[in-house]
Amino acid sequence: MLSRAAMRLLTALPTLLVLVALSFFLMHAAPGGPFDSERSLAPEIEARLAAHFHLDEPVWMQFGRYLGGLLHGDLGPSLQYEGRSVASLIADGAPVSAAVGAAALLLAIIGGVAIGAIAAMRRDGGLDRGLMLLALVGLSLPSYVVAPLLILVFALALDWLPAGGWDGPSSVLLPAVALALPQMAAVARLTRGALGDVLAAPWIRTARAKGLPERLIVFRHALKPALLPVVSWLGPAAAGLMTGSVVVEQVFGIPGIGRYFVQGALNRDYTLVLGVVLFYGALVIAFNFLVDLAYGALDPRARLE
């Protein structure tokens, strides 16, 4: 297990390098540039802007320049937001995305595991079928449907929460729920499947034969091994949730970094997109590393590998 974690760390840098290179050349291969607009600048001014941001150099030279900056920890200036560095944009937006993402993650895990466990205990009963149908609906409903519905109910009809904006803890709840629902559904299905298998295992039959109460069997003995698939799901899902979602951020008007993936790409803000891709990539690697460590704690077999 430790060797696997160490391997992950060793491959992290080359992985990120490939990620940056791919994104860089793909971005620059797309037609159009950051300063194209409906208004179109005078040619001399466009040339001057291009020179200022070194966009007039060959692409491989720009790539070298970008890597050089990265070595110094410099993600470069945003091409779209005048006078702002990519690092400052990420530093401002990441805590917001992380707050919403962490709340969503917590909701998804607690809710998902609970629903999954209940369904597994009532396997093939009416409750199980109902919950799994609900989970299927949760998985298939996109957030651009769920989010406006949440606003309609909780902000407009009930007037409990703000309809949007970023103003204190009450602004976290609705976006977090909107983000969490599909993930919660995924966790519920994973938990139910895995727990179902575990509950059919011989050692559980032994526990039952010993006369242990069902609650104890599920929560003390069966749940831990059943959570392994949930844990491996957790790594990438956590990274995804923490870096925000463009849909949820736009619908709720919250200042996270999820929007920069899409807007940055649409605006050809090369440095901004590369910055968030790099950030996302690093997070995925970091969370997968944590998952490896968690695996060791949960599964004795992994420790022996």
User: Taking CB under 8 A as the criterion, which residues in 211-250 touch another protein?
Assistant: 250
Q: Is residue 189 near another protein by the rule CB under 8 A?
A: no
Q: Is residue 158 near another protein by the rule CB under 8 A?
A: no
Q: Spell out the long-range contacts of 33-40 with Cβ–Cβ below 8 A and sequence spacing 24 or more.
A: 33/268, 34/79, 34/80, 34/267, 34/268, 34/269, 34/270, 35/79, 36/268
Binding test (CB under 8 A) with another protein, winner from 69, 148, 229, 236? 148
Least separation in angstroms between residue 280's CB and another protein is 18
Q: Is residue 64 near another protein by the rule CB under 8 A?
A: no
**CB 138, CB 212: distance < 8 Å:** no
Least separation in angstroms between residue 84's CB and another protein is 6
Q: Is residue 93 near another protein by the rule CB under 8 A?
A: yes
Binding test (CB under 8 A) with another protein, winner from 40, 71, 72, 209? 40
Cα(60)–Cα(18) distance, integer angstroms:
14
Q: Is residue 124 near another protein by the rule CB under 8 A?
A: no
User: What residue type is 39 in one-letter code?
Assistant: R
Least separation in angstroms between residue 82's CB and another protein is 3
Between residues 48 and 65, which has the closer beta carbon with respect to another protein? 48
Owner of token pair 């010993």:
210
Between residues 185 and 254, which has the closer beta carbon with respect to another protein? 254
Which whole-number Å values give the CA distances from 167 to 101, 143, 155, 170, 242, in the listed order?
A: 17, 21, 14, 7, 19
Q: How many residues bind another protein (CB under 8 A)?
A: 47
> Could you tell me which residues are beta bridge partners of residue 138?
none
Cα(231)–Cα(139) distance, integer angstroms:
18
Find the part of the chain contacting another protein (CB under 8 A) among 38-46, 213-221, 275-283, 295-303: 38-46
Q: Is residue 65 near another protein by the rule CB under 8 A?
A: no
Q: Of how many residues is the chain composed?
A: 305
Q: Checking phi first, is residue 269 left (phi over 0); if not, alpha (psi -120 to 50) or beta?
A: beta
Q: Is residue 156 near another protein by the rule CB under 8 A?
A: yes
Between residues 156 and 209, which has the closer beta carbon with respect to another protein? 156
3-state SS, residue 1: coil
3-state SS, residue 265: helix
Q: Is residue 266 near another protein by the rule CB under 8 A?
A: yes
Between residues 88 and 232, which has the closer beta carbon with respect to another protein? 88
Residue ranges binding another protein (CB under 8 A):
30-33, 36-45, 48-49, 52, 80-84, 89, 92-93, 148, 151-152, 155-156, 159, 162-166, 250-256, 259, 266-268
